[in-house]
Amino acid sequence: MGLLGYAYILVAVAPDYYYVSVQEDEYVEWASFWAFLAASALFLLSAVRQRRNLPWFLTGLALFCFVVAMEEISWGQRIIGYRPPVYFLEHNFQQELNLHNVVDTSLRKLGLKVIILGYGVVLPLAALVPAMGRWLNKLGIVAPPAAMIPAFLAVFVTYQIYPWKHSGEWVELMLGLAFLFVALARSEDQGERPGMTAPALALVIGWLVVMVLGASTAAASRIYRNALPETVDAARQEIEALRVDFEARRVTSRCGLHKRLYTYVQKYEQTYLLEGVFAGLKAQGLPKERADFFLDPWNSPYWVRDSCPTGSRKRQVFVYSFGPNRKRESSRSQIRGDDVGVFIAGVP
């Protein structure tokens, strides 16, 4: 509930900081990564130390949390800057190496709700029934403590009502912490740290460590990567080519448009961008996959934004790249930080 209160305060008092907080590679996403990764390690440790039965369930939980953690950071793609396989560039709307964004949106949402309610609510309730509890124990299924039910319910309700834009980022962090708390409680039950830490204090420490790691990793990710002059110059040349292509044809746009350029081309059938000056850079060494999927020199997508300023009929459209640090720093109407971009003239 503390996270929800914090998010509410940001939305009400500091909306710009809220917007920054929920961006990729910021502290909310990194905290989610560390929460799931820590939960994975603890579940695996519990599986190793389980003396009886085959610890298939705990091992499965460890694997699940590890995969979710890596999916959060797209398996290190934005950190390293590698180009994902063509399948993900074409079928993943984020153009990143992760599996969950390839799955149909409605199916993905249903799956997440089933996990939240099934594991976090139904399973611990079932374990409270003596006969059911004995049966689950015989099968090697380890239910979360009943005390965690309110936490999982809070995650579900937040996801269901989606109170703010990008609420999904907070849901992921809340769910990661919920799994971490279950893993910590499991460690306490097994007596892996006898006499050292009270369960409540362990949860507080775990929460603080995750948040500190999230903030620290987000700060570290702001360090420029591959900011070589020739790479930046290549991005500027490509952005300039895109400007020429946009201005050569009437731009299809709408107020508030903000999309990856490949998605924009596909949705609005702007196929002329596939045959213009930007595409012609392939003759000068631009890799075909970068040209076909509108990727910058750091293998991140180029973006197009229609800022539609308040109180003005004139639209401001610009195309931009996240730049060397592979993090969005531009605002709704300004190209900021190390982002490489250009405004498009002649937009009605």
Q: What is the DSSP letter of 119?
A: I
With respect to residue 225, please indicate whether it lies within any of the assigned structural domains: no
90, 112: one domain: yes
179, 250: one domain: no
Give the HSE-up count for residue 152: Cα atoms under 13 Å, Cβ half-sphere: 25
Residue with tokens 């689950």: 136
What is the CB neighbour count within 10 angstroms for residue 212? 13
127, 246: one domain: no
Spatial contact of 330 and 306, defined as CB atoms under 8 Å apart: no
CA dihedral 16, 294, 67, 115 (to 10 degrees): 60
Q: Containing H/E element for 338?
A: none
**Residue where one domain finishes, among candidates 184, 200, 220:** 220
165, 242: one domain: no
**Dist. CA 189–CA 14, nearest whole Å:** 41
With respect to residue 320, please indicate whether it lies within any of the assigned structural domains: yes
94, 185: one domain: yes
Residue with tokens 């409270």: 128
Q: What is the DSSP letter of 96?
A: S
pLDDT for 19 equals 86
Q: Extract the tokens encoding 55.
A: 């610890």
53, 191: one domain: yes
**DSSP-based three-state secondary structure for 342:** strand
With respect to residue 189, please indicate whether it lies within any of the assigned structural domains: yes
**Dist. CA 70–CA 170, nearest whole Å:** 17
With respect to residue 107, please indicate whether it lies within any of the assigned structural domains: yes
159, 248: one domain: no
SS3 content of the chain, % helix, strand, coil (to 5): 60, 5, 35
Q: What is the mean pLDDT of residues 323-347?
A: 87
Q: How confident is the model at residue 211 (pLDDT cuts 50, 70, 90)?
A: very high
Cβ-based neighbours of 152, under 8 Å, separated by 6 or more: 116, 117, 119, 120, 121, 144, 178
Q: How confident is the model at residue 201 (pLDDT cuts 50, 70, 90)?
A: confident
**Residue where one domain finishes, among candidates 168, 190, 220:** 220
Query: Given a cut of 90, is residue 90 above it in pLDDT?
Result: no
Q: What is the mean pLDDT of residues 281-285?
A: 93
Strands 340-344 and 317-321: antiparallel
**Dist. CA 247–CA 277, nearest whole Å:** 11
**Amino acid identity for residue 228 in this structure:** L
Q: Extract the tokens encoding 11.
A: 């939305």
> Beta partners for 319?
304, 342
Q: How confident is the model at residue 86 (pLDDT cuts 50, 70, 90)?
A: confident
Question: Taking the model in full, what pTM does it have?
Answer: 0.82
**Residue range of the domain that includes 64:** 2-220
215, 234: one domain: no
149, 278: one domain: no
pLDDT: which is higher, 343 or 220:
343
61, 187: one domain: yes
Query: Given a cut of 50, is residue 192 above it in pLDDT?
Result: no
**Residue where one domain finishes, among candidates 220, 249, 266:** 220
With respect to residue 55, please indicate whether it lies within any of the assigned structural domains: yes
102, 241: one domain: no
Domain count, the chain: 2
pLDDT per residue as tens digits for the range 133-154? 999 988 989 999 999 999 999 9
209, 270: one domain: no
